[in-house]
Structure 1
Amino acid sequence: MSGKFITFEGPDGAGKDSVLDAIVPELRAQLGDKLVVTREPGGDPIAEQIRDVILDPQNTAMDDRTEALLYAASRRQHLQDVVEPALARGAVVLCDRFVDSSVAYQGAGRQIGEQAVFDLNQFATNGLQPDLTVYLDVPSEVGLARIEQHRKDTQYDRLDQEELTFHKRVRAAYQRLAKANPQRIVTIDATKPLNQVIDDVRSLLRHHVVTD
């Protein structure tokens, strides 16, 4: 595949949406139809339907392994329909969350095993890895406070019901992933003012997308 696959990761409240909202128009102006912006879970019609099931706040009885399997199923469909065709035609794909999220949230947060979730997703993705992962790091307390400050009723989903200890496990897993994969995962300090975080991500992408 000749394109570039760049993923964005971070615990809840890290500011991924705000950063992407700022940088996507700039990249679109440079790359045109060579830029594909997508998300997980979701990104195509079937995967979006699975997303609705996963995040429905009414589905409190969902088993933890069922949740992990649904994420992997959504991911597989998304890769087949969106990511792999875009990479094959040489596009730059920016994806909001990928396998690292499942390892962190289901493997560590749900405590069903980081390696087990990683192995499940190796099957789902056939081993596809991002060329670059931008990890926005923020303490759990800070991230959750941001979410509460900006919350709207329509933004409330099933994962928002989790306690602080869950989110701390998620962040710790992300930090382990970043330490274990330094060539792929670049950590950005998301406690800085938003404009500085955006500048840091912009500089990183300029190197990887434009001059690399």
Structure 2
Amino acid sequence: MTDGQPKRGRFITFEGGEGAGKSTQIKLLAEQLQKRGVRPLVTREPGGSPGAEIVRHLVLSGMGKILGASGEALLFAAARDDHVHSVIVPALTAGQWVLCDRFTDSTRVYQGKLGSADLSLIHALERVTIGSLKPDLTLILDVPVEIGMARAAKRRGNDAPDRFEAEDIDFHRKLREAYRQVAIDEPERCVLIEATATVKSTAQAVWQVVKERFPELAKAHSKPHSKQRSKVRSKARSLETNGA
């Protein structure tokens, strides 16, 4: 960082199996940050940019499955390249925090560990698409497979399951174990969050980790509640009227 340039924003990614609650927890974390004057960019993968959203539809619809795990990895790489360079990097460079629903760990797990894509291919694609970019923190939400699948089914209602939700239960059990292994392999970056209980308790666990990881948040003061702000404004007007 040089004089006149903002400090790089923080980059937090959320990972986990189907129905782990990533989207909900990202929203709640964003609200906590906003209370402290931090306005994060919330995004997702695959997707997050116009070009990447096209790939998202292609993959989740199941049309990309005919290409195999390596082909899907290439599709995700194309989407990620657009997303990273048109959305994530500009935001971080401008000093904005970025919260992303899935990132490179999803490709490593879904197409790498569970698929047939060679890990050397996946790592090569990462070098091309993200370069030295790395999340400051990755939160891996962990839930038993049966609970996650039930949540996913409730969320989609009458809609058909997507490409990955439609996989059998053995796939999802392996998926959970693969993510738990990611947390073990990279403890400096990854934190495993037990997300079986209530949304509120999971959100509290997430916030505790984020506060501990980023001490600058301790210096940020929560914005007063709307009623408190109203009282402050009323008191200010009273002082002005009385000539204080």
Return the TM-score normalized by structure 1.
0.90
- Asked if 1:156 corresponds to 2:156, the answer is no
SS at match of 2:175: helix
- Asked if 1:203 corresponds to 2:222, the answer is no
- Asked if 1:79 corresponds to 2:84, the answer is yes
The answer to whether the 8 A contact 2:59-2:65 is kept is: no
- Asked if 1:19 corresponds to 2:25, the answer is yes
Structure 1 stretches of 4+ moved >4 Å = none
Q: Following superposition of structure 1 onto structure 2, how do residues 83-102 of structure 1 map, counting pairs within 5 Å?
A: 83-102=88-107
* Corresponding letter in the other structure for 2:105: D
- Asked if 1:5 corresponds to 2:33, the answer is no
Match of 2:110 among 82, 105, 115: 105
The answer to whether the 8 A contact 2:84-2:129 is kept is: no
| 2:60 matched residue in structure 1 | 55
* Corresponding letter in the other structure for 2:130: T
* RMSD across aligned positions (CA): 2.0
The answer to whether the 8 A contact 2:70-2:118 is kept is: no
Change (3 A) 1:99 1:58: closer
Can you list the C-alpha shifts for 1:65-120, whole angstroms capped at 9, x where unaligned? 11111111111110100110111111111111100011111112223244542332
Q: How many residues align?
A: 211
Q: Following superposition of structure 1 onto structure 2, how do residues 173-192 of structure 1 map, counting pairs within 5 Å?
A: 173-192=178-197
- What displacement does 1:160 show? 1.7
- What displacement does 1:20 show? 2.0
For the pair shown, which has the larger CA radius of gyration, 1 or 2? 2
State which drifts further: 162-171 or 83-92: 162-171
The answer to whether the 8 A contact 1:99-1:118 is kept is: no
* Corresponding letter in the other structure for 2:25: V
* Corresponding letter in the other structure for 1:193: T
- What displacement does 1:156 show? 2.7
The answer to whether the 8 A contact 2:73-2:117 is kept is: no
In 1, the alpha carbon distance for the partners of 2:112 and 2:145 equals 17
Unaligned runs of 5+ in 1: none
In 2, the alpha carbon distance for the partners of 1:153 and 1:61 equals 25
| 2:36 matched residue in structure 1 | 30
Return the TM-score normalized by structure 2.
0.79
Percent sequence identity is 37
State which drifts further: 44-53 or 150-159: 150-159
In 1, the alpha carbon distance for the partners of 2:68 and 2:46 equals 17
In 2, the alpha carbon distance for the partners of 1:186 and 1:155 equals 32
